[in-house]
Chains A and B, each alone.
Chain A
Amino acid sequence: MTGPALVVEGLYKTFTLHTQGGVELPVLHGVDLTVFPGDCVALMDPSGSGKSTLLRAIYANYRPQRGRIVVAHDGRLVDMAGAGPRELLAVRSRTIGYVSQFLRVIPRVPTLDVVIEPLRAFGVPRETAVERGRALLERLRIPERLWSLSPVTFSGGEQQRVNLARGFIADFPILLLDEPSASLDAAGRAIVIELIRSARERRAAMVGAFHDREVREAVATRAVTLHGEAEAA
């Protein structure tokens, strides 16, 4: 595939807080971004400037006021800013993966099931999915005795590693990474770098916020700011 995997055009996002007298918080004003397969774009803005907002908007978690977010899905182009709920769910299950900073834990679901769940949408048979899940959990150094437990009691670092496993287990063409190395130690960060590099090798298109410089420098092919010029990595 030669074209871009993701094109953000003229994106505006303003939050209107009706519960606080209607105060408006403009966060994104005219963001443009193009990401190709194999790219790993690092967002360089300081904390609170809207990096998460952009990632969430791409994932259609936030609804922009203006602009387009075009992705290639199932051989056609979909605008996340205007697509219907059914289409958005389809894009999320097979085209865009999202690794957030924290794991939303559902009590009673074992870690292994949490991790392999994204593969269901790709039609991967359960035995294969289980094998891949175990391999990935091992790679992320989650002890086997925890695999059948719900992550609800895990430490922050363990939860983040489960989160990563879930985020990277399926071959999403587009990956959104919001501080993937948060709560991790040096060894954990090294694994994050590995995972991102593998994803790059299979030509995933990635956009991320990487607070950690070591990780950023190891994985980013480009560095940009939301509203500024692109800088060479």
Chain B
Amino acid sequence: MSAYNFAFLDEQTKRMIRRALLKAVAIPGHQVPFGSREMPLSYGWGTGGVQVTASVIGPDDVFKVIDQGADDTTNAVSIRQFFERTTRVRTTTRTDAATLIQTRHRIPETPLRKGQIVVFQVPIPEPLRWLEPREIETRKMHALEEYGVMHVRLYEDITRHGHVETAYDYPVLVNGRYLMRPSPIPKFDNPKLDRNPALLLFGAGREKRIYAVPPYTPVRSLDFEDHPFTVERWDHTCALCGASDAFMDEIVVDDKGGRMFVCSDTDYCERRRGR
């Protein structure tokens, strides 16, 4: 089928999205509305991420897609094949070799470099939505920096569970100004957002919002003085590569309840094993 444009979207749409991206980069953490298009995948499957990728990808890019850290899940494979067919761009599973990485729910363990771009798939971009259903009101709250109420959410967690229970999509303050949802990455990955050398782009297709964290931007996870932000820790190391500093997936291996822990980032794990 040769009737599709490079990366599926027409050039005007790409320009529109790039304009939104420029605005987003100019105001770190601020949600920019954009004209989200109908994509050949359903809402909730990464239409926002795909549109951002399609707008920034070029013929010289090396493209990687991960879903929950793995390159080989169905969704990652689908999206990678989609871009292979519509761009003929080189793809890779290696984080260090990629120039452009689209991800759902993880940030790669391998440290990112200046010049790399990571595109996050975002379901709900608005961090205050749990508290305030009205868009008019949440926009005002962002404009006026009325963020104290986000701590109400954390307070409730501590009250109910003794600690902040939020384990993923943990709210952050970007550049000391905008409250942002980092997408459903585990809080384990939040520290990677802080002053990352790569450009981080976020796309929500159904909600029609784009936001960004430019390179080297300070990003702080919200917490209380007496309940500081902490990340997950495991008692196990990876059963395959022995890593102790990566986010673990727990896998049930037999019907007797046997389980093993392996790195969720498949590329990281393979690299450590020398593959």
Q: Establish whether A and B are touching in the complex (CB under 8 Å).
A: no
